[in-house]
Structure 1
Amino acid sequence: MKQKFIVRDSFWELFPETEIAVLLADDVSNRSYENMPKDLLKQANSRAIKWVEEDPISANPVIKDWRTAYQRFKTKKGARCAVENLLKRAKQQNGVKSINPVVDIYNSVSLEWAFPVAGEDRDFLKGDLELTIAQGGEIFVPISEERTEEALTGEVVYKDSESIISRCWAWRDSARVQVTEDTTNLVFYMENINPERKAEHKQAIQLLQSRLKQYLSIETTFGLITKQQPEITL
């Protein structure tokens, strides 16, 4: 059976207006910076500041949206949406640094459009990818760490049949499925929780697709997950 990306009813009960853009790419090469602008991340960090001009950072609308969302489910203390971390670093002149070509591209889009963007290595997913509410105790190993964590009861998580893929919705990703230079088959997802940002969400998706194609010759297929269309085939 083919793998699916499924958003469960328990999530829609909390966030019925969320839209999740999903991009799939096969047989990619993630090793060459030859066609990428050397200042891609520098420019993206600079452009990101427009989203967080107010102090404190929580006063900015895109941050407020996610802070409010995170108050609706159980989170680990201090957990914030990944896009808040990127924008905060940009504001503090400590912008995100290069990791590998694919990650740099989706981070640049996240910075410029203020949407969280995740990329995962599909070859390491076990079974379906699900966005759901944790029962509690599900295993998670964060990127760059060896210690094992457990999800909280009531926490919004991405998971597969083996373990947690991302804790606290869009906070931290799993080391098991992280994108590396050896990654060849990818799934990207970008969440929008504010219905008033639909047009911006669409533009961010198009920018991600165009940069992947222009800089790395990566062709992507697109799907949109909504409450009315809660799953797609990977």
Structure 2
Amino acid sequence: MIDDIRVDPAVSALRPDFAVLAMTVHGLRNGPTDDRSRAWLAEAAEKAVAADDPKVEAWREAYRAFGAKPQRTRPSVDALVRRMPLPEINLVVDAYNAVSVRHGLPIGGEDLARYEGTARLVRASGDEPFEVVEKGEPAIDHPEAGEVVWRDDRGVTCRRWNWRQCVRTRITEETVDALFLLERLEPMSLAELRAAGDDLAALLEDVTRKIRVEYRLVEPA
């Protein structure tokens, strides 16, 4: 499915500098946060980019471009660098959160077993289902028309580019095969983007030896 991931031209028109490094990782043995991943999070917190870093500000500008208010619904990397100490979720999520704040880019993680069809970044029509939990119960929400969203064949997997993930595809301790989306805007270079991917792969290989990793850089046509 990595070969079919696409960015819709309507999104590219908003930010022609956008690129995403897609990574599929097969054969993970995830687990709860441990001392190893706590050390990753602590080191990342010490070396995290600042909230006013130009790479973070670029994401606020991207949100404004499609009508979102980044002070209310923050880009994921913006929210993380303001939330210290970093939250402990599980080994795999801890790994990509650590890489996110160190490099200053949003990273999304999806459970491929729960994914349906191809990942694509589009501007929403507004009627797509977005699966959430409200007051402890499953519920269906919807994006706003024109909102930038990641989606699959079943519905929205992440709202407002990288603000909030649906519950259906989130990575859990049972996740074996995963898709990671490392998102870049200028002034981050493509070399920095690839370096972030390499760092994530190294941490995931520490979680599970002999994983199979595939990469694909997706840029506007």
Fold agreement, TM-score > 0.5: yes
Partner of 1:85: 79
Partner of 2:199: 207
TM-score by length of structure 1 reads 0.84
* C-alpha RMSD of the superposition: 2.3
Partner of 2:182: 190
Partner of 1:123: 113
1:138-185 CA-partner distances (Å, limit 9, x unpaired): 111236863322110110000111111000001000100000111111
Return 6-15 or 99-108, whichever deviates more: 6-15
TM-score by length of structure 2 reads 0.89
The amino acid of 1:84's aligned partner reads D
Distance 1:196 1:44, change over 3 A: closer
Aligned length: 217
Instruction: State the alpha-carbon separation in 1 of the partners of residues 37 and 59 from structure 2.
Output: 31
- C-alpha deviation, 1:37, in angstroms: 5.1
Partner of 1:42: 42
Instruction: State the alpha-carbon separation in 1 of the partners of residues 9 and 204 from structure 2.
Output: 32
Partner of 1:219: 212
Q: 2:124 aligns with which of 107, 118, 134?
A: 134
- C-alpha deviation, 1:3, in angstroms: 8.0
The amino acid of 1:106's aligned partner reads Y
- C-alpha deviation, 1:34, in angstroms: 7.2
Identical counterparts, % of pairs: 28
Instruction: State the alpha-carbon separation in 2 of the partners of residues 99 and 33 from structure 1.
Output: 6
Unpaired segments of 5 or more residues in structure 2? none
Distance 1:34 1:175, change over 3 A: closer
Distance 1:210 1:149, change over 3 A: same
8 Å contact kept, 1:209–1:219: no
What SS class does the counterpart of residue 162 from structure 1 fall into?
coil
8 Å contact kept, 1:142–1:172: no
Instruction: State the alpha-carbon separation in 1 of the partners of residues 171 and 7 from structure 2.
Output: 22
- C-alpha deviation, 1:35, in angstroms: 8.9
- C-alpha deviation, 1:206, in angstroms: 1.1
| TM alignment of 1:93-172, pairs within 5 A | 95-142=85-132, 146-172=138-164
- C-alpha deviation, 1:88, in angstroms: 0.8
